[in-house]
Structure 1
Amino acid sequence: MNEGPTVFQRRIVIGAGLCVLAFALVGMRLVHVTLLQPLDGSRPALAIAARADLTDRNGELLARDLPVKDLYARPQVFWDKDQAARDLARATGAGEGRLLKGFHNAKSPYVLVARQITPDVEARVMALGLPGLEFEQGAKRFYPDGRNTAQVLGVTDPDGAGVSGLELGLQDALRRAPGGQVATSLDMRVQFIVADELAKARAKFRANAAGAIVMDVKSGEVLALVSLPDFDPNLRKILEGDSTRNIMAQDVYELGSIFKIFTFAMALEDKTVRPDEVLPTPPGYKIGRFTIREAHHMPSAMAAKDILAQSSNVGTLQIALRSGGARQREFLSSLGLLSPLKTNLPETSRPLFPTRQWATAETATVSYGHGISVSPLTFTAALATVVNGGRRIVPTFARQADGSDRRGEQVVSEATSLKMRDLLRYVVTNGTGRNADVVGYDVGGKTGTAEVPGPNGRYIRNALRSSFAAVFPAHNPRYVVMVLMDQPKATKDTFGFATAGYTAAPQTGRIIQRIAPLLGVPNTAPPTRLAGGNS
């Protein structure tokens, strides 16, 4: 006769059942904690906003989201919190002090260890064998060209939102097309050449900073914008000597004699001077208790075109005074020089100019680019307006259809625009811009050398800011180029001079020489005839 289970056996079965139930409850809790519960114990994990790729005008990749992970820890399961903090800090680069504080004083069950860690960092973390570590999927913006595009593209924050540059300026377009592409106006072939030439010039002349812009005069597309010093957008920290400031858009400068372009355009528009008219150019011109002098020796009298070509301050101010201060202010305003420039690059600046009075002295100094400060990008847009037939153009960093013409209303007449192109070509062939000339590409332009104001408002002794503003081809304009060098130093090659004719002008010429063939600008130089040959 079979006997039923004993009381002892029944107790074993019941105990085993309770153990299974307990393990099941623990397992369910683990699933809840690791898969279902928010990482900070109180809110859902932040969703990373998906962004489109950024490309240049030819489809070259400029920025893309790459998959990464955020690492969180549950310090309550660590058997040695101090050691865990040290190990995780070594593996991820996180601050050990921050981790220690978080592990010992955490108000929530989870502590953020590091964001946007890459697969190699993840592998180092996994090799530690620590319990209580969890990874959350995310994305990190990657910039293949690094420093070359840092100032114009900007960066995103860890949550995938643009915080500067075109990442911020084109934010809506980038979020409307996740997984797609947003094409910029940049041409990376041109951007690389400009960055290369500018870096070499900055090193040669030991300049504090340097920048350059290349822009289409009809579409307004900016093909290149470089600002040095720059930074590494992939590193996400600023090293010694780096800067996140875009000097070509954010900073305003007294640009000196390149402003004479606008004085002459105004005079030609007002018909107050003829290019061949001769004006007296004494060594000094007295206005009230001030005497304005030339930067270097000038003849006692010069034709107006030579006043521009040789960059006479005294001659230029006399031409400006014929139109007067009210007209000068109106004219500069019509070119957009007296208001902040609005583009899809969010970095901008407010120009500085006389506000309390715009009298004779102000008219004189503004005529040659002192007493007024604008951003280089604002200047470039005004230059393009003067030489493109006289129609307003606003820069854009978004790619336009081939052959686009975004020019707006007429600001100066076509006749004035044509005469200005002739004069700018004359500056390069017969004046201070000779070092910018490139055989076959018909370069026109103007040098500008300005003194640098110090913190007390007085100009710093022997500190200069040199620039060159160019258009090519001068008689059928397609592009303008603006190069700026902040406090370049003279070299043996420049005979002790640090002025624009020796620093910014040759640099501009080298840039044009390299980019013109890539942009399909025909070289009009006559073919070389071989000795004894037929062609």
Structure 2
Amino acid sequence: MKKFGRRRGDPQCVPGQNGHSSAQVRLHGAHKSSIEIVRRRLLLGAGLFTVAFFVLSMRLVEVALFNEVRPSNAVNEEVETRDGPARADITDRNGVILATSLATRSLYADPQDVRSSASAAARLAEVLPEIDLKTVMARLSSDKRFVWLKRHLTPRQVAAVNALGEPGFRFLEEQRRVYPHGSLVVHAVGYAKLDNRGLSGLERTYDKRLLSHPNKPLTLSIDLRFQHVMHEELARAILLHHPVGAVGIILDIASGGLRAIVSLPDFNPNESGSVDQDVLFNRATLGTYEMGSTFKVFTTAMALDTGVATLQDGFDVSEPLRLARHVIRDFHGEGRWLSVPEIFIHSSNIGAAKMALAVGGDIQREFLARLGLLDRSQIELPEIAAPRYPKQWKDINTATIGFGHGIAVSPVQLCAGIASLINGGFWRSPTLLVENEKLNPAERVVSRVTSRAMRQLLRLAVTHGTGQNAEVAGYRVGGKTGTAEKVGPKGYDRSRVLSSFVGVFPISAPRYLVFVMLDEPKGAPATHGYVTGGWTAAPVVGRVIARIGPMSGIAPAVEGTAKDEFSTTVVKLDGDEIRLAAY
């Protein structure tokens, strides 16, 4: 056998090492670098996969639990995100909702994502026929990223738009103000516009409060039942007499809280679009009028309270009253001496003018100021007008103001003033909020004796005077008519009058004042063609009292059985002596 010797350069075997040492050395030497690279790459890949899986898992959890889904590119800084409604409810005194907020969806578009503006606009007009096709097409063709298409869609409309499958159409959730009773209380409550901001009425006055405290309702002094009755009876009078406008007010005599306030014509705040200025106009607070003979209530109370006259005194009204170039006449003159009660129930202009002149202009002005008739009303509405009266208070002004001409006030001011003369003599600012009724300060303006005398005269005007059409059996209505000629291009126009009646019930213990005014009523067969307050407004007041009396829990009285029927005051009335009840 051939023996091989060790060649130069071969490794020597070291005793004690494995016989495969040479092969192992050859493996490490040839493949070490490639195996290490593969191993490191596998480890790196596994690590990156683990990290990616972990990140994706965390993102899924975040999206599922914490993120709110929002439309892409939707920016509307006017819509706030908050718990509860975006605007507080408004309710009547019994908790009936008059205004509330509902979550709705509004449609907008990103024109850059719209595939075909013409096609998209045409398809949208098919499901939303009320939109203007040209306007929508112009918006979809713009280079903007956000354009409104329609605000406050119904759920059915939202479903129809979604069915179009247009990627450029998107929705934004907003709050819509809703008025469940439509136009019934619109001039008191007002309305809020698209961006949920109050535009008129209490919605405007308390805009910040309604937004800052969305879960705290604003409670009104209004009783929706009374409001409905007044609104319905005024609407009935409008159909009969066709006036250009009407006002109805029900006032709580003790607290000054308004239970109803209606101005017609009105409008439905739920309907979109522009509103005519005539229906926006609140005749109850923003309108100022020469109220006519209802002002004789103030003149008579002033004369009695100052001691210038008593119920047994009187004035000669047999001839017209001449002051410089002015002549004052009576509508239906009695042509004789009249007692104070006769002047009141026959509504004598001459008698009221002489009574006012006997008191004097300075005292008259101060007296009317105490009753809040020379300043803006403090009622919680933005639509308030300042009264109009002469800067220089001359004798002719004193005389004409004595019977309700030459001074213009709002109906709500008139009601607050008259209420103060029959509630014991305390003036309170009229209010639309329950919370202000409780805090309403009272200021004495006439004595208790004068207040009782005025209740007696108001009752007499209904039983024996021009207010007989307002009488309601069992409720002892007191009141005063008013018929004022309106000013035209050539002075006072007899063909255009303002007819009104202010009623109080029950006169023995007054609870409510009810006022109705018709602006330019037309004669009707039922009124024998007359347009005066006694024929047009007084019957409306009577119907309102007949309906709200039972609602108020006031039981009809049986005549002759009440304690206040004890006669204490004797007056002369048309040649007879009349014993007045001690109201």
Sort the TM-score into its range (normalised by shorter chain): 0.7 to 0.9
Which position in structure 1 is the counterpart of 2:504? Answer: 471
How far apart are residue 176 of structure 1 and its match? 4.0
Taking structure 1 as the reference length, the TM-score comes to 0.87
How far apart are residue 86 of structure 1 and its match? 3.7
Pairing 1:48-67 to 2, within 5 Å after superposition: 50-67=86-103
The letter of the residue matching 2:499 is S
Distance 2:319 2:467 in 1: 22
Distance 1:75 1:184 in 2: 46
Q: 1:37 to 1:81 in 2, by over 3 A?
A: closer
Assess if the C-alpha contact under 8 Å between 1:219 and 1:400 holds in 2. no
1:274-304 CA-to-partner distances (Å, cap 9, x unmatched) read 1222321124111101111112232322111
The letter of the residue matching 1:170 is Y
The letter of the residue matching 1:505 is A
Does residue 449 (structure 1) correspond to residue 483 (structure 2)? The answer is yes
Choose which of 391, 403, 420 in structure 1 pairs with 2:454. 420
1:338-381 CA-to-partner distances (Å, cap 9, x unmatched) read 110112222211110001x1111111111111111111011111
Does residue 69 (structure 1) correspond to residue 102 (structure 2)? The answer is no
Which position in structure 2 is the counterpart of 1:429? Answer: 463
The letter of the residue matching 2:535 is Y
Choose which of 507, 514, 519 in structure 1 pairs with 2:552. 519
Distance 1:35 1:285 in 2: 78
How far apart are residue 418 of structure 1 and its match? 1.1
Q: 1:201 to 1:159 in 2, by over 3 A?
A: same
Q: Which protein is bigger by CA-based radius of gyration?
A: 2
Distance 2:263 2:527 in 1: 24
Which position in structure 1 is the counterpart of 2:321? Answer: 285
1:16-48 CA-to-partner distances (Å, cap 9, x unmatched) read xxxxxxxx9xxxxxx99x9475425xx646327
Distance 2:552 2:78 in 1: 48
Distance 2:362 2:419 in 1: 23
Distance 2:494 2:481 in 1: 20
The letter of the residue matching 1:257 is S
Does residue 360 (structure 1) correspond to residue 392 (structure 2)? The answer is no
Query: Deviation above 6 Å: which 4+ runs of structure 1?
Result: 239-242
Distance 2:439 2:477 in 1: 22
Assess if the C-alpha contact under 8 Å between 2:71 and 2:171 holds in 1. no
Distance 2:101 2:278 in 1: 24
Which position in structure 2 is the counterpart of 1:47? Answer: 80
How far apart are residue 401 of structure 1 and its match? 9.3
Assess if the C-alpha contact under 8 Å between 1:283 and 1:294 holds in 2. no
Q: 1:280 to 1:124 in 2, by over 3 A?
A: same
Assess if the C-alpha contact under 8 Å between 2:333 and 2:348 holds in 1. no
Q: 1:445 to 1:44 in 2, by over 3 A?
A: closer
The letter of the residue matching 1:462 is S
Assess if the C-alpha contact under 8 Å between 2:71 and 2:172 holds in 1. no
Which secondary structure state, in structure 1, belongs to the residue aligned with residue 185 of structure 2? helix
Which position in structure 1 is the counterpart of 2:525? Answer: 492
Can you give the 5+ residue segments of structure 2 that lack an aligned partner in the other structure? 1-55, 57-62, 562-583
Distance 2:560 2:168 in 1: 75
Which secondary structure state, in structure 1, belongs to the residue aligned with residue 184 of structure 2? helix
Which position in structure 1 is the counterpart of 2:29? Answer: none
Does residue 410 (structure 1) correspond to residue 444 (structure 2)? The answer is yes
Which secondary structure state, in structure 2, belongs to the residue aligned with residue 135 of structure 1? strand
Which secondary structure state, in structure 2, belongs to the residue aligned with residue 146 of structure 1? coil
Does residue 99 (structure 1) correspond to residue 136 (structure 2)? The answer is yes
Pairing 1:70-469 to 2, within 5 Å after superposition: 70-89=106-125, 91-92=127-128, 93-106=130-143, 108-237=144-273, 243-355=279-391, 357-400=392-435, 404=438, 406-454=440-488, 456=489, 458-469=491-502
Assess if the C-alpha contact under 8 Å between 1:209 and 1:228 holds in 2. yes
Distance 1:401 1:253 in 2: 27
Assess if the C-alpha contact under 8 Å between 2:461 and 2:478 holds in 1. yes
Q: 1:85 to 1:470 in 2, by over 3 A?
A: same
Assess if the C-alpha contact under 8 Å between 2:353 and 2:399 holds in 1. yes
How far apart are residue 64 of structure 1 and its match? 1.0
How far apart are residue 217 of structure 1 and its match? 1.2
How far apart are residue 398 of structure 1 and its match? 1.1
Can you give the 5+ residue segments of structure 1 that lack an aligned partner in the other structure? 1-23, 25-30, 529-535
Assess if the C-alpha contact under 8 Å between 1:469 and 1:482 holds in 2. yes
How far apart are residue 221 of structure 1 and its match? 1.0
Distance 1:36 1:464 in 2: 60
The letter of the residue matching 2:137 is L
Root-mean-square deviation (Å): 2.5
Distance 1:326 1:401 in 2: 33
Distance 1:186 1:39 in 2: 41
The letter of the residue matching 1:518 is M
The letter of the residue matching 1:178 is P
How far apart are residue 527 of structure 1 and its match? 10
Q: 1:440 to 1:47 in 2, by over 3 A?
A: same
Taking structure 2 as the reference length, the TM-score comes to 0.80
Assess if the C-alpha contact under 8 Å between 2:91 and 2:218 holds in 1. yes
Assess if the C-alpha contact under 8 Å between 1:215 and 1:481 holds in 2. yes
Distance 1:417 1:328 in 2: 17
Q: 1:496 to 1:65 in 2, by over 3 A?
A: same
Which range moved further: 116-125 or 305-314?
116-125
Assess if the C-alpha contact under 8 Å between 2:301 and 2:454 holds in 1. yes
Distance 1:461 1:412 in 2: 35
Distance 2:220 2:526 in 1: 39
Assess if the C-alpha contact under 8 Å between 1:221 and 1:400 holds in 2. no
The percentage of counterpart residues that share the same residue type is 39
